[in-house]
Amino acid sequence: MWKNGRFPGKEAGYIATLQSGLRYRVINFSPAQGPLLFHRLVWKLMTGEEPPKTIDHHDRDTLNNRWDNLRELTHGENLRNTGLWRNNTSGFKNVYLDKRRNHWFAQVRYNGRYMRLGRFATPEDAHQRVLEFCRGEYRIGH
């Protein structure tokens, strides 16, 4: 953990909240360089290479910048490692209510395309189908 020489014991930098609501630790080395996201600095220090475009926080805690919590993912893989949306009504990812037909359906995005996995009487049944589909190559964050 980086320390601040002017304020011993206090972590360097500050926490910035993005428009998306995500919070990140940011550090400024010089005004010319501008602010730097702390997880990108950790990546550079640990690998000696420029950070990839997408660095994921495995536990979804954007303030947890421990090296074992950071990983390189594609943008699509990173989108799968999200929590439930605020407007989720099923309690499960990739399970949606079709109000017109009054049933639940399972749908996932795979290889850039949306795939409907079927209609179900309960959200639990639809979620079970999503889990069956996701075993193997396609994985979603839970």
Angstrom distance (rounded) from CA 40 to CA 44? 6
Angstrom distance (rounded) from CA 26 to CA 38? 5
Domains, the chain, ordered by start: 14-79 (no CATH), 84-134 (3.30.730)
Cα-Cα-Cα-Cα torsion 81, 15, 29, 59, nearest 10 degrees, comes to -20
pLDDT at 142: 41
**Best CA proximity match to 93, nearest among 58, 129, 62:** 129
pLDDT at 125: 94
pLDDT average, residue stretch 21-29: 88
Read off the pLDDT of residues 106-141 as tens digits, 9 standing for 90 and up: 998 877 788 899 999 999 999 999 888 877 555 544
